Amino acid sequence: MAELGALVKGGSVGFSLVRIDETGTVAAKVALSQLDWCAGQSIRFDVSAGLLVVGRTSERMTARIPSKMGVALPSRFRSRCRMRVGEQVLLASLLEHDLLVVYPQHVLHAMVTGFHASLLDRGDPREG
């Protein structure tokens, strides 16, 4: 799997915020439509930098996108990424790379607090 940092520097990214249901599935119709993925498509899972990365594959013995256009996140990958049933996750459709990236809540929290800390470090540009 490619390093994600390089993947998101340019190009189009679509976002949707969804909740992991009691079966470990996320409603991903918007994200999958952005990627032009359809029901029955074989997909593979990988973890990169604490994020769950979903890609298309031609392998037969893999997960598939169901007719309701959700993605069942396997428990072993949810566990590795510290995702829990009932939590919201951010789905990022990396259009140019044909990947769906699932951002867990704890990663989003770290990103947002880090961003806000950097704003405080810079100070108010209107001052001085």
Q: Tell me: the pLDDT tens digits for 53-82?
A: 999 998 877 799 999 999 999 999 999 999
Q: Which residues of 59-95 are buried (b: 16+ CB within 10 A; e: fewer)?
A: eeeebebeeebbbbbeeebbeebebeeeeebbbbbbe
> Domain 11-122 sits in which CATH superfamily?
Transcriptional regulator MraZ domain (3.40.1550.20)
**Per-residue pLDDT tens digits for 2-43:** 455 555 556 689 999 999 999 999 999 999 999 999 999 999
Helix spans in the chain (H): 4-7, 29-35, 75-80, 105-122
Q: Distance (Å, rounded) from C-alpha 31 to C-alpha 51?
A: 16
**Three-class secondary structure of residue 11 per DSSP:** coil
Quote the pTM value.
Answer: 0.84
